[in-house]
Amino acid sequence: MRASLSTKKSVKTHLNGWLQQRRPGRAPSPAHILAAAVALLAAMSCCIYAIRAFHTHLLVQTVLETPIVEPSGVLKLDVQQHAAAEMLLRQLVDECAKQQQTVIHLDSQRRMVTSSSINPQHCPALDVVLPAPERALRSCTDAALYVIHVGGRLIPMPADVQAYDGYCGPQTARLFLDSIHPQLISQQKRVLHMQLVKPSLISPQHGPLHAHMQAFLCETRQCTTLMQQHVVERGYWASVWNMGLGSSDATVGTSGDVIAAVQASMSLGNPQGFALHVQSHKPEQTKAVLNCWAKHAELLPLVVVGGSAEVELTAAARAAANIIYLPPGATAAAAAEPGTGVSSVLHTSGATAAPAASSRLQSLQAAAALHVIPALDEGSLHDINEARAAGALIVTTDHPPMRELVTPEQGILVPIVQASLDSAFSSSSSDRSGSIAGLHGVRVPADGLCRAVQQALALPAAEAAAKRAAAAAHYKADQAAFVQRAAQLRAHLQAQSAAAAGTHAAAPAAEAAAASIAQAVGNAAAEAGGDAGSSTAQTALGRRAGLVW
């Protein structure tokens, strides 16, 4: 008791002394000034820390918000619906690849409709923006998939952007593909802007445009993880949605007679058939494949389908008898003779060269025994996915996101190594400039690629057949998952469009899809044990970004 009274007395004496110093005419001592400054700084630091932590928490929550429910278990692809969608996809891609300023959408009977101008009275839930110069085969495939499965409308750059902005306003979301066009970023706050992103194309200079996006759509888990971290680090108030990858299926509508005819014409009598390589946007990939074949005359014939990349060939690759060069858009029957036609086939006019027509390429994809796709980024994902659909044996790189599509049970993976400065097959200059994909300093060794090809060709028949069957089965499951995610996105956009139009009820299709989503959410929550997974994901994302407290 005495100790307590003594303590209270000392505190009272100290306070009285301080109050006396605060009387007019008496300045506080330096010790008191220092103590007050330290206390003020500590309080400010605590406030800043709390504000920063709360801000990061809100950012992470925004990034993880998604209308897309991940499928539970392995989904089964509806064969009839898949076949109908595939035939429609080919129509849309072929029309899009004409690189004309056309508007493409589907009518109520799911038939393709084209027009030369944007109808101001037609307000779909989604517009996919793809100007004519950007309408290459792969970008057209991406756009067509969202037209078919999400109910979008493919549009070129509007002649009058201001008028277009006033047509439908927030009723129509806008989806950009590889490029964001700033003139189409609406001044209306309720318009939803999205981009289907590829991490290897994302660099710091895109920041001002990304700040206007409310959602980023990804095709792979690697993209989802990288973009979530990128969005939090940059402080964008946007969500990242994993849509998965949809691609064409060359086996639909391709008869056995056609496949046999292509195999006979391309294999040059080799009992193993022929290998296929489709040029990508990276010339180094094609150069490495050609040099491998030029060094090994014993390999089965290689068919190279021309693309937009310009490839400088060695003399050996030009003269190789086991390489067949097909110009862009050529049919199998119009193949150049082995070792001929190089200058007109591979040295095309860069990015403006027309891509191989989808209908002509698919017979080759369905007939090829081996697909060689030594990719370093997501630019060749459609090639890999289409090879899986064809049930082909695949050689690709042991690097994300390629190994998301092809595991050792489904193909042959080539290890990557650190690239030297003079490497012939390494990450491109765009990668070295700071893309979030982190490809700087990696390459596929030419000798490793050749060993992988030889390993694939030496597989026992039963093991090769098992890999092909596994690849085809995983394609079907992933395609079914993409279709389901696209239906959920469609329902979400239709509900937003109906709300923006002043309608209290969404369209019947949106209501049905929303009901199925609610059921799927309930099942997923029951299986995952509530919100624990979400909390864990938020914490993990914040820590990866270096922003979690």
Three-state SS at 507: coil
pLDDT score of 288: 87
Q: Are residues 108 and 225 in the same domain?
A: yes
- DSSP letters along 331-371, please? -GGGPPPTT--HHHHHS--GGGSPPPPHHHHHHHHHH-SEE
Q: Are residues 314 and 395 in the same domain?
A: yes
Residue with tokens 């309930």: 522
Q: Is residue 102 part of a domain?
A: yes
Taking the CA atoms of residue 129, residue 131, residue 132 and residue 137 in that order, the dihedral angle to the nearest 10 degrees is: -50
Nearest to 275 by CA among 184, 182, 195, 371: 371
Q: Are residues 184 and 268 in the same domain?
A: no
Three-state SS at 176: strand
Q: Is residue 487 part of a domain?
A: no
Compute how many other C-beta atoms are within 10 angstroms of the C-beta atom of residue 54.
11
Token representation of residue 197: 């992103």
Angle at 405 between CA 226 and CA 70, to 5 degrees: 65
Q: Is the peptide bond before 401 cis (omega within 30 degrees of 0)?
A: yes
Token representation of residue 70: 């991940």
Q: Is residue 3 part of a domain?
A: no
**Chosen domain end from 458, 479, 497:** 458
| C-beta of residue 156 within 8 angstroms of C-beta of residue 101 | yes
b/e map of 359-387 (b: 16 or more CB within 10 Å)? ebbbbbbbbbbbbbbbbbbbbbbbbbbbb
Q: Is residue 236 part of a domain?
A: yes
Residue 400's CATH number: 3.40.50.2000
Interaxial angle between packed helices 381-389 and 358-367, expressed in degrees from 0 to 180 and rounded to the nearest 10? 60
pLDDT score of 88: 95
Token representation of residue 541: 């994302």
pLDDT score of 413: 96
Q: Are residues 131 and 174 in the same domain?
A: yes
User: What is the 8-class DSSP label of residue 276?
Assistant: E
- DSSP letters along 63-77, please? HH--SPPPPPSPPPP
CA distance 473 to 405: 11
Residue 183's CATH number: 3.40.50
CA distance 224 to 271: 42
Number of H helices, E strands in the chain: 19, 16
Q: Are residues 170 and 104 in the same domain?
A: yes
CA distance 166 to 36: 58
pTM to 2 decimal places: 0.78
Q: Are residues 441 and 527 in the same domain?
A: no
Q: Is residue 384 part of a domain?
A: yes
| C-beta of residue 77 within 8 angstroms of C-beta of residue 480 | yes
Nearest to 285 by CA among 373, 353, 363, 158: 373
Ramachandran class of 215: left when φ > 0, alpha when ψ lies in -120 to 50, beta otherwise: beta
CA distance 303 to 332: 10
The DSSP element (H or E) to which 305 belongs, if any, is strand 302-305
Q: Are residues 267 and 216 in the same domain?
A: no
**Chosen domain end from 428, 458, 488:** 458
Token representation of residue 419: 């690239």
Q: Are residues 516 and 392 in the same domain?
A: no
Q: Is residue 47 part of a domain?
A: no
Q: Are residues 180 and 303 in the same domain?
A: no
pLDDT by 10s per residue, the chain, length 549: 454 545 555 545 555 555 555 555 567 788 878 888 888 888 888 888 777 666 555 656 666 677 788 888 888 999 999 999 999 999 999 999 998 999 999 999 999 999 999 998 899 999 999 999 999 888 999 999 999 999 999 999 998 998 998 888 899 999 999 899 999 999 888 899 999 998 888 777 777 898 899 999 999 999 998 888 888 888 888 889 999 999 999 999 888 898 999 999 898 889 999 999 998 777 888 888 998 999 999 999 999 987 544 566 778 888 889 999 887 444 333 443 444 333 333 333 233 334 445 667 889 999 999 999 999 888 889 999 999 999 999 999 998 899 999 999 999 999 988 754 344 334 443 343 455 565 556 788 888 999 999 999 999 999 999 999 999 999 999 999 999 999 999 999 999 899 988 753 444 444 444 444 444 444 444 444 444 444 445 444 444 444 332
CA distance 411 to 391: 10
CA dihedral for 118, 122, 123, 124, sign (positive or negative):
negative
Three-state SS at 304: strand
Three-state SS at 488: helix
Beta bridge partners of 324: 303
User: What is the 8-class DSSP label of residue 408?
Assistant: T
**Chosen domain end from 458, 484, 516:** 458
Q: Are residues 295 and 234 in the same domain?
A: no
CA distance 5 to 221: 66
Q: Are residues 244 and 310 in the same domain?
A: no
Q: What are the Cα distances from residue 435, in Å, to 226, 484, 528?
A: 11, 30, 34
- DSSP letters along 96-164, please? HTT--S-EEEE-TTS-EEEESS--TT---SEEEE--GGG--HHHHHHHHHHHHHH--EEE---SSHHHH
Domain that residue 435 falls in: 256-458
Token representation of residue 77: 């692809």
The DSSP element (H or E) to which 220 belongs, if any, is none
pLDDT score of 77: 93
Beta bridge partners of 262: none
Q: Are residues 190 and 133 in the same domain?
A: yes
Q: How many residues are given for the chain?
A: 549
CA distance 306 to 329: 8
Q: Is residue 293 part of a domain?
A: yes
Q: Is residue 118 part of a domain?
A: yes
CA distance 496 to 500: 6
Domain count of the fold of the chain: 2
- DSSP letters along 451-489, please? HHHHHHHTS-HHHHHHHHHHHHHHHHHHHHHHHHHHHHH
